[in-house]
Every structure is written in C-alpha cells, then in structure tokens.
Amino acid sequence: MSGLVIHEGHEAGSRLFVAVWLYLLAITAVELVLAYVRLFPTGVMLAVLMALSVVKAALIVAYFMHLRFEKVAFVLSLVPGVVVVMSLLLAFFPDSFRVFHLHVP
C-alpha cells in the first residue's frame, strides 16, 4: 500500500514531502515556545522536548531518508545498531562526570 505513494506521480509525492516539512516546522515552533516561555517545570519540559525531537527524527528518517518506503527487513536491520549505540552512550555517560570533576594539576 505504501508503494502507491511513490507510483502515483511526482506531484503526489511532492505534496507529501511538503506536508511532512510543515509538520516538522510546526513541531520546531512548539519546541521554541516551550524553550523560551517556560510553561512547565524543567524536568517536564525536557521530557516533552526530547519526545518532540524523537518524533522529528522519526519523520526525517521515514520520509526524507525514504526508509518508510523500504522493506521491513531493511528497517529492522537498522534497529539493533541504534539500540547498541544508545546502550553504549548510556553506559559511558556516567564516566563523563568523573572526567569532568577530575582535578588535573
């Protein structure tokens, strides 16, 4: 079913990309308002900003990197690598605090 978008014609695909771009623009506007107006406590605001960033990244990867139109097996082959990288980042992140507080003469 998703292949229909590609084969309908260039104009239909262009409208889709413009719509996704407008969604990305709207999410960015919401992020800017949240960052400058401070409507929520810091922890809640950071959680909302992180969630909005994940949504933006998913839209960019799906539509502008064309992974939405790829086979499921190809997309699923990328997921383990992303999970490993994020796990390593979380594992080594506490070490950055140790280096930051290291007193070097």
Residues 56-81 have pLDDT tens digits of 998 998 888 877 777 777 767 878 88
pLDDT recorded at residue 96: 78
- Cβ atoms of 56 and 27 within 8 Å: the answer is yes
Task: State the angle between helix axes of 42-59 and 10-37 in degrees (0 to 180), rounded to the nearest 10.
Answer: 170
pLDDT recorded at residue 11: 57
Phi-psi region of 38 (alpha: psi -120 to 50; beta: other; left: phi over 0): left
pTM higher than 0.85, yes or no? no
pLDDT recorded at residue 62: 83
Residues 6+ apart with CB under 8 A from 31: 49, 52, 53
